[in-house]
A and B are shown apart, each in its own frame.
Chain A
Amino acid sequence: KQEVTQIPAALSVPEGENLVLNCSFTDSAIYNLQWFRQDPGKGLTSLLLIQSSQREQTSGRLNASLDKSSGRSTLYIAASQPGDSATYLCAVSPLTQGGSEKLVFGKGTKLTVNP
């Protein structure tokens, strides 16, 4: 059974710092990996989608990498801002669970960027 782990559960950094959020998954047989952002009391916003054949994706100050063989992904946030404060969730679409559309989520990393 695919399991997704995100460590640390919470992270607090000063504004302007570059930071890395980590995601690991137990089964490398995946279609893709998605990073989401969730603000308190809100739904999930898709940040980046990395297909299994890709190594990384970039959007603005965000860069996500994927190392499928080691079961790891990182989300790099450059020059962090207080507005980046949110919970970041990683999710994989497993090959072995009968369809490419289902997602298995980690429990998230709660990021606080202090002014």
Chain B
Amino acid sequence: DAGITQSPRYKITETGRQVTLMCHQTWSHSYMFWYRQDLGHGLRLIYYSAAADITDKGEVPDGYVVSRSKTENFPLTLESATRSQTSVYFCASSRAGANEQFFGPGTRLTVL
């Protein structure tokens, strides 16, 4: 009954370091998404995936890398973290066909 989980929930890192945020869902949803939420901007789509090994850019993809080797996992990597990537990151999933999106609890990332 886990649904969709994210780890870590909180992360502090330094500029230039690589960071990977994990997302795992137990529903076998085909679609998975990564958003960032910032004051003044609301939620913005970073990357999404329609199925294993299929990913595509969203509105703000620069500085991020994703992969999806298994349907249930969708990690987000910041290859060289910058202060502007300080944000709350949410993972979401949905069935195909414009269905509801279900969100994880979020990861609060601080880049010093």
Contact among A42, A46, A89, A101 for B105, CB-based, below 8 A: A42
- Over the window 13-54 of chain B, the binary record of Cβ atoms lying under 8 Å from chain A Cβ atoms (1 yes, 0 no) is 000000000000000000101000000111111001010000
Q: Complex: how many Å from CA A42 to CA B98?
A: 24
The interface on chain B, measured as residues whose beta carbon lies within 8 A of the other chain's beta carbons, has a size of: 25
Shortest A25–chain B CB gap in Å is 13
Shortest A58–chain B CB gap in Å is 16
Closest to A93 in B: B98
Q: Complex: how many Å from CA A70 to CA B99?
A: 23
User: Residue B103 at the A interface, CB < 8 A?
Assistant: yes
The answer to whether residues A43 and B43 also contact, given A100-B98, A102-B58 and a CB cut-off of 8 A, is: no
Q: B residues within 8 Å of A by Cβ? A: 31, 33, 40-45, 48, 50, 58, 90, 92, 94, 96-106
